[in-house]
């Protein structure tokens, strides 16, 4: 099973040394702690735990990309139900994202697209999740990888709906190091929101606790690769935030923007 889940890198990220970014070095930097309340005190954190819900997992046949797509589509429906009911009850905006499968084109939505066989990206302007599923994501059909990736990508959609994504895109930064840390806060938060969803549907999945432990092992090996910009976060950090979301099922546990730098490494 590949270690890579997804590593979104926006043009904003790779522009750290451009003239536009250089202008931010003149006194508008937003060093930790981040003060933008759209990030640190977002209404999502006061929305309470996600309600328990039923979610049926279709069978994924080993090596079958088509069955993996059907699986993701079914989980996507569960995500729509759980998050839709939750956000509406909290008086927060909700709109279903578009889910598409296929090869991810170069430059999709301003991302620096990776070269992995399997990867997924969320485009905030079009509210679209685009998943490129290769056979490497269908090798260990009993694990939680596909479920977790689907939940994590949907977490980015939730961030978009409640204004976190927009605030993240506009947050100033002093240098590339700070910019990368902001990217990690964003990615780790979506991991945590995915964990909250897993908690809400876990009792309906009829899975042993060992599956959850196996997922943690996968996440632990999914951090930024050597030589890559540190925009995704260490595997241990992803385990930490996934466990926080899963432990409570509450978005309040996912406030990475108020966490110390050590917790988003």
pLDDT at position 31, please?
55
Say if strands 128-132 and 119-123 run parallel, antiparallel, or are unpaired: antiparallel
118 phi and psi angles, rounded to 5 deg: -120, 130
Instruction: Give the residue from 88, 116, 118 showing the smallest Cα distance to 101.
Output: 118
Whether residue 113 lies inside any domain: the answer is yes
pLDDT at position 32, please?
66
Three-state DSSP at 99 gives strand
Whether residue 75 lies inside any domain: the answer is yes
pLDDT at position 20, please?
29
Whether residue 29 lies inside any domain: the answer is no
Q: Please tell me the total count of domains within the chain.
A: 1
Give the domain range for residue 115.
55-264
pLDDT at position 170, please?
94
For residues 190 and 184, give the distance between their C-alpha atoms in angstroms, rounded to a whole number: 10
Q: For residue range 54-108, list pLDDT tens digits in order.
A: 999 999 999 999 999 999 999 999 999 999 999 999 999 999 999 999 999 998 9
* Under-70 pLDDT residues of the chain: 1-32
Which residues are registered as beta bridge partners of 130? 100, 121
Whether residue 18 lies inside any domain: the answer is no
Whether residue 201 lies inside any domain: the answer is yes
Decide: 129 and 97 in contact? Cβ < 8 Å.
Answer: yes
Whether residue 17 lies inside any domain: the answer is no
pTM for this one? 0.90
Token pair for residue 8?
């979104």
Whether residue 161 lies inside any domain: the answer is yes
For residues 114 and 116, give the distance between their C-alpha atoms in angstroms, rounded to a whole number: 6
Whether residue 156 lies inside any domain: the answer is yes
92 phi and psi angles, rounded to 5 deg: -100, 155
Decide: 129 and 6 in contact? Cβ < 8 Å.
Answer: no
Q: For residue range 10-33, list pLDDT tens digits in order.
A: 444 333 222 223 223 333 444 567
Who's near 79: CB < 8 A, 6+ residues apart? 150, 151, 154, 197
Distances (CA, A) of 224 to 7, 15, 220, 254, 264: 8, 19, 11, 20, 13
208 phi and psi angles, rounded to 5 deg: -75, 160
For residues 91 and 76, give the distance between their C-alpha atoms in angstroms, rounded to a whole number: 22
Peptide bond into 208 cis (omega under 30): no
62 phi and psi angles, rounded to 5 deg: -55, 125
Who's near 121: CB < 8 A, 6+ residues apart? 6, 8, 104, 108, 109, 111, 113, 129, 130, 153
For residues 238 and 218, give the distance between their C-alpha atoms in angstroms, rounded to a whole number: 10
For residues 108 and 189, give the distance between their C-alpha atoms in angstroms, rounded to a whole number: 22
For residues 163 and 189, give the distance between their C-alpha atoms in angstroms, rounded to a whole number: 13
């Amino acid at each position: 099973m590949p270690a890579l889940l997804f590593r979104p890198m926006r043009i904003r990220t790779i522009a750290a040394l451009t003239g536009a970014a250089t202008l931010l070095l003149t006194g508008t930097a937003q060093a930790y702690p981040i003060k933008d309340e759209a990030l640190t005190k977002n209404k999502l954190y006061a929305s309470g735990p996600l309600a328990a819900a039923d979610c049926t997992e279709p069978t994924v046949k080993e090596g079958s990309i088509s069955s993996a797509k059907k699986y993701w589509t079914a989980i996507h429906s569960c995500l729509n139900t759980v998050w839709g009911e939750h956000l509406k009850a909290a008086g927060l905006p909700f709109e279903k994202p578009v889910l598409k499968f296929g090869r991810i084109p170069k430059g999709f939505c301003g991302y620096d697209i990776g070269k992995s066989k399997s990867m997924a990206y969320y485009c905030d302007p079009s509210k679209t999740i685009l998943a490129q599923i290769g056979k490497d994501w269908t090798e260990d059909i009993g694990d939680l990888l596909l479920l977790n990736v689907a939940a994590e990508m949907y977490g980015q959609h939730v961030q978009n709906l409640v204004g976190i994504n927009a605030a993240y895109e506009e947050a100033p930064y002093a240098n590339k190091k700070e910019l990368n840390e902001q990217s990690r806060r964003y990615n780790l938060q979506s991991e945590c929101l995915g964990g909250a969803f897993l908690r809400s549907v876990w009792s309906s999945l009829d899975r042993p606790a060992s599956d959850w432990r196996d997922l943690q092992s996968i996440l632990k090996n999914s951090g930024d690769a050597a030589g890559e910009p540190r925009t995704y976060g260490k595997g241990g950090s992803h385990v930490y935030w996934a466990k926080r979301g899963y432990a409570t099922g509450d978005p309040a546990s996912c406030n990475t923007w108020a966490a110390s730098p050590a917790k988003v490494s």
